[in-house]
Amino acid sequence: MWRNYLTVGLRSLAKNKTYAFINIVGLTIGLTACLLILLYVRYEQSYDRWLPDADRTFQLQNYILSTSKGGEQKFLQLSPIVAGRTLAKDFPQVEKVAWVRAFSPIVIQNGRAIEVNDLQMTDSNLFEVLDLPLVRGTTAKALPDSHSLSVSESEAKRRFGDSDPIGKTLTIVDNTGDVDYRITSVFKDIPKNSSFSANMIARFDLDTQFADRQRQLTRWTSTEGWNFVKLKSAADAALINAQLPAWKKRNIPDDVINGQKQNPGDGEDFALVNISNVHLGKAQMFGMTPGNDARTVTTFAVIAALVLGMAAINFTNLATARASQRAREVALRKVLGATRRQLITQFLAESTLLVLIAMLVALAMAELLLPAFNSFLDASIALRYLGAESVLIPAALLVLAVGAAGGFYPALYLSRFQPAKILKANKSSADAAGSGRLRNLLVLVQFAVSIGLIACTAIIYGQTLFARTLDAGYQRDRLLQVGNVGFRGVSTAQSQALVERIRRVPGVQAAGRTQIGIASSISSISDYFLPGSPTSVPLGTYGVEPGFLEAMGIKLLAGRYFSEMQGKDDATTPVPVDLDAERALAARGINVIVTQSAAQRLGFRTPEDAIGKEMRGDLSVPEAGLVPATIVGVVSDARYRSLREPVQPIVYIMQRVGFAQVAVRYAGTTPTDIRQRIEGVWKQLIPLVPFKAEFADDIVQRQYQQESARGILFAGFSLLAVVIGCMGLFGLAVFTAERLTKEIGIRKVLGARTQDIVRLLVWQFSRPVLLANIIAWPVAWWLMRDWLNGFDTRIPLTPVPFLIAGIIALAVALSTIASHAFRVARLNPIHALRYE
């Protein structure tokens, strides 16, 4: 019996080549998209699940509420050093805690200095918390002391070739000086699907490392690294999380500033998050690797399912449309004794066979497209046919599900034909009531999906373009940002000499060092008090030197910039902390420049109102007290971070030390030339420190790389949806025209013109496309409104993208069927009526 079903199915496909081609190509496109997205979703959900004891491994995260710290809500993967230590002390369920901070130091090997971009420094044996697979060494002795170092397999190969790296020494230049580290273990390269990243892991003594900044060891507001926690049991996490609100109240001390008592813990929460949930979790700020949004991943999965569903709709539409061609076959089978159940089984088998053929082609396409897909996503997705991540079972389930979904209704529809009606007077039941309405409904659904995707693509593209071209408050063009100025290997004298030499480079208009730069990960906030007010105003506070604001092109709204000639502008104090100097600064006071939003938050209606006003800020050690700060300038707001984050109100303070970058404004020369000239100056003054510089446009483009990638994926899905929908529409037009050949002939004999026939056919198929807008527009508007609300500044949601989507869909649909309708309408009616 099954052999008969297979034979009939193959013959049916061979007989109707257009039908077979449209269905197989449509299903192949849908299945390929579905397979790739299935692999992508599985990959995104697999982050850190490869790690042994992943169920017991957690990250302590810090959530800053919107009611504190300047009104900016932040979900940080970072947490204070003291938080991890206190957690281990207070909860016996904690087995081990390791604090980790990222570092990009100079590593000296055989007298040659090389920058390492992915070195993590930890205060304990991190391998007892994160059980990274080792190639050499054991977990217990992977990092046995504070001068031990573990390197990845590829890093060991790069540095030492085939020789054994164990016992070799590398010198790391950090804030305590040149420190020798002995390699004690080698770990396997960390997969890309990990929220933890490292080429090297060095263990250091926390008290020695922070000897010049001991306050950071006990400050609950100092977040410079990640706390990784291993619990004795995975079930203990829920119990600890439930107790964390009371725990922070017990442990975080009150601060008394300006006579006002406040607790930093009132404006923040802590949470233990399982390591496998970090990548798609709520906290995405300051992760070691780029995170993702679980809702975004789910959205793409739904879209892939919609594209596949559209291909299944094509099958249903075309199967019912060509029912007249199979009506006599069904009638004869029933006369010869076939039951309705057998007929349903036959048609479902044909549907499944067609999907199986499409699946085989889709698997081949997925294999071919996967390298480009991985390159586009910067991922390492693999297509495996065996093992735990095999695609064979999902592929088989897709074949059965799509085969049943696409073939079930046609099977029921075709199997219900009555032999007497079909065989009497050569009639057909193909036009049974409801079949045409169902096809129109399915076409409507197809184009509703297409229109919705096109509208979403247009909005995502518009927002991404808006983010890239938005006036960020500084002049993005002809701006170079030079990094690595804060390296331990760069002395204060070298840093000062560097910026002075850069200012003399031909083509440089202005240059200045700064603590904050474009796409900066630094967030520094201080409390300020206006005269007579006990309530603090939290504002971002960053040190800059004269020339920085001019180099950035930040507009002066009132007052003046910092000046070397004004002694009170200089707020520099010695490093490490000199208490006498801090007290002298507090007694003398300083001049500051504030941004427009900072002035507004302080209560000044206009920039001019703020000039000359004094406030006191928590800018020094507690023993020195508050520092009087006089506002001498108000500048425009600058958006240093992503458009998703609100603009931070900032107070700029003039300093001479503690800088991370140099902003360089240039003109009259090419970007390549200016970079080469500055690199030449760098190598003359600081030859041991690697040169690092990026143009502002490149940094901003990288900021929105994920948004651009999502926009491209949306565009790709939109194109696929339109192609599949038009293929189905073309197939329906072909079969409908064949069925209406006699009607068209009669109309022409009775005087209908070619354009009348074309208009009739085009209107018949364009109605569902027009109605699809009614469904697509509200759904797309609701989805895009929610997506745009994730940005601090966004484009308005106007009707234009929806109208464009509707016009595009209608134009594509009309072009698909118009040419065929015109050809049919021009046929000689004699050929249609000849047999009469």
Q: By percentage, how much of the chain surpasses pLDDT 70?
A: 82
For residue 260, is pLDDT > 70? no
The answer, yes or no, to whether residue 561 has pLDDT greater than 60, is yes
Encode pLDDT of 630-682 as tens digits: 999 999 998 888 777 778 899 999 988 888 889 999 998 899 999 999 999 99
Mind listing the pLDDT tens digit for each residue in 128-145?
999 999 999 899 999 999
Q: Out of 109-123, 586-600, 640-654, give the one with best mean pLDDT.
A: 586-600
More confident residue, 641 or 824: 641
Are 545 and 658 within 8 A, CB to CB?
Answer: no
Confidence at 36, pLDDT banded by 50, 70, 90: confident
Length of the chain measured in residues: 836
The H or E element containing residue 832 is helix 829-833
Confidence at residue 201, expressed as pLDDT on a 0 to 100 scale: 93
The angle at the Cα of 731, spanning 729 to 736, to the nearest 5 degrees, equals 95
**Residue 634 DSSP symbol:** E
**What is the reported pLDDT for 836?**
46
pLDDT band for position 68 (50/70/90)? Answer: very low
Residue 428 has pLDDT above 50, yes or no: no
Rounded to whole angstroms, what are the CA distances from 720 to 302, 451, 454, 744? Answer: 14, 12, 11, 33
pLDDT > 70? residue 740: no
Q: Which phi and psi (to 5°) does residue 182 adopt?
A: -100, 130
Q: Using 50, 70 and 90 to split pLDDT, how confident is the model at 833?
A: low
List Cα–Cα distances, 90 to 83, 95, 115, in angstroms: 10, 12, 39
Positive or negative CA dihedral for 323, 325, 329, 332?
A: positive
Nearest alpha-carbon partner for 598 in 617, 575, 625, 579: 617
Between the two ends of the chain, the Cα-to-Cα distance in Å is 40
What is the rounded CA–CA span in Å between residue 625 and residue 611? 24
Q: 352-408, pLDDT tens digit by residue?
A: 888 888 899 999 999 999 988 888 777 888 888 877 778 888 888 888 888 887 677
Q: Cβ neighbours of residue 687 under 8 Å, at least 6 residues apart?
A: none
What torsion, rounded to 10 degrees, do the Cα atoms 556, 658, 471, 508 define?
Answer: 80
- pLDDT tens for 443-499 read 788 788 888 888 888 888 888 788 777 778 888 889 999 988 877 667 788 888 899
> Token match 């013109």: residue?
753
User: What is d(CA 836, CA 831) in angstroms, rounded to the nearest whole number?
Assistant: 10
Of 501-510, 619-628, 643-652, which has the strongest mean pLDDT? 501-510
Structure tokens at 400: 């059965």
pLDDT value at residue 229: 96
Cβ–Cβ under 8 Å, residues 650 and 636: no
Residue 501's Cβ-count burial label (10 Å; 0-12, 13-18, 19+) is middle
Q: Are 300 and 41 in contact (CB under 8 A)?
A: yes
Q: What are phi and psi of 130, to 5 degrees?
A: -100, 105
The rounded distance, in Å, linking the Cα atoms of 97 and 99 is 7
Mean pLDDT of 693-701: 87
Beta-carbon count within 10 A of 534 CB: 11
Which two tokens mark 574?
């010695």
* Residue 814 scores a pLDDT above 80: no
Residues 6+ apart with CB under 8 A from 90: 247, 251
Domain ranges of the chain: 1-47+296-432, 54-277, 484-691
The tokens 């143009």 sit on which residue? 695
Q: Note the pTM of the prediction, 2 decimals.
A: 0.76
* pLDDT exceeds 90 at position 93: yes
